[in-house]
Amino acid sequence: MARIFIVDDEPIIGIGLKTLIGEYKRFSEIETFTNSVSALTSIRANPPDVVMTDIRMPRMDGLELCRNIQQLKLLTKVVVLSGYGDFVYAQKCMSYGVQEYLLKPITEIELYPVLDKLLATRDAALVSFSLFEQWVDQLEEAVWMLDKNRVSELLEEGKRELFAGETDVQQYQRVYDAVNLLLKKLNARGTYRIEAKPLFEENTVITITYEWFQAEIYIWMQRLSEYRKYERINVLEAAIQYIDEHLFDEELSLDRVAGKLGITPTYFSHYFKKNTNETFVQYRMRKRIDKAKQLLAVPHYRITDIGAEVGYESYPHFSRVFKKATGYSPTEFRALLGIK
């Protein structure tokens, strides 16, 4: 569930709004603040999903709070409350990224539809971020493997599906998040630390766009390549060697091979299919069936034992797989060889 902060210097109004929002039953946490300074401290420490703030407050007014929230580039949605039906205030709020502007006094009739809208936007953003994280995971592996073609594919995919149609502010935030997440994942591998100094140095003016991000990725790959003396990790060679050595183990799986190589199953599956024109399962089955054919050509081998010999836990399972691959049952195949 979501979290909301209510900021109003009149305690009675804060309590009333907290009760009203509590009856809405879609927020797990509702906090009230009587001044913007303490509210901003809490927002920085643990950003809520929604901030509802009054305009007229001492020390720091609501507009200044909105400006600070905008500068933090948070996903927090902001609703401004005011007893003044002043269009100038509304205009100023919107320039600070405020989503909604409501006039006091507020009832559930005005408030609940606004909260519905904000939470729907939040839910869509959470789904979007989940896809974003998956994309970063794939990009990190491709960078680590120095797979330039895959990196290029993913960067084009990101430009098309994750960054298209965003405002400059939204793109800045998304690129900033991508850089931080990508660096965190790459550096967690612990063998070579990649830095993006221009992004973090003080007093550095830089236009952070998706194009800048693309160029930065290739710079990182060049540094990584130099560190490795321009040698790529040969995933395919290592994978096939491991598969062939453990081909007849019942537990041989895509997850197990990927784990041995230190990459995710998703990346390994994509990489293997792209470089061999067959899936891991197809490769494993083909190699096992080839071995089974060799054993079936040896008369003294019992057919019922051959399945276990090539990695299948039961003869019926082996028989089904063999017939699917060859068009013949093991018995029929042996008969074709003239062996009774």
Domain formed by 2-106, architecture: 3-Layer(aba) Sandwich (3.40)
Per-position DSSP letters for 206-227, written without gaps between them: ----HHHHHHHHHHHHHHHHHH
Q: 297 pLDDT exceeds 70?
A: yes
Token pair of 317, please? 């399972």
Residues of the chain with CATH 3.40.50.2300: 2-106
Scan for tokens 């999903």, then name that residue: 49
Calculate the dihedral angle through the C-alpha atoms of 144, 149, 153, 155, rounding to the nearest 10 degrees.
50
By percentage, how much of the chain surpasses pLDDT 70? 86
- The model's pLDDT over 230-255, given as tens digits with 9 standing for 90+, comes to 555 567 777 888 888 888 887 888 98
- The model's pLDDT over 131-149, given as tens digits with 9 standing for 90+, comes to 788 888 888 888 888 888 8
Rounded Cα distance between 287 and 295, Å, is: 13
The terminus-to-terminus CA distance of the chain in angstroms comes to 68
Token pair of 247, please? 């081909």
By percentage, how much of the chain surpasses pLDDT 90? 10
Strands 77-82 and 50-54: parallel
Q: 9 pLDDT exceeds 60?
A: yes
Q: What is the mean pLDDT of residues 168-175?
A: 70
Which residue has better confidence, 80 or 208?
A: 80
Q: Give the lowest-confidence range in 170-174, 215-219, 267-271.
A: 170-174
Rounded Cα distance between 19 and 214, Å, is: 48
- What angle do the packed helices 210-227 and 108-144 form, to 10 degrees? 30
Contacts of 199 (CB under 8 A, 6+ apart): 176, 179, 206, 208
Q: What is the pLDDT of residue 33?
A: 92
Residues of the chain with CATH 1.10.10.60: 235-336
The CATH code for residues 235-336 is 1.10.10.60
Give me the chain's average pLDDT, please: 82
> How many alpha carbons lie under 13 Å from residue 304 in its C-beta half-sphere?
0
Q: 98 pLDDT exceeds 70?
A: yes
- Tell me which range, 3-17, 81-95, 215-229, is most confidently predicted by mean pLDDT: 3-17
Q: 186 pLDDT exceeds 60?
A: yes
Closest CA to 267 of 163, 157, 144: 144
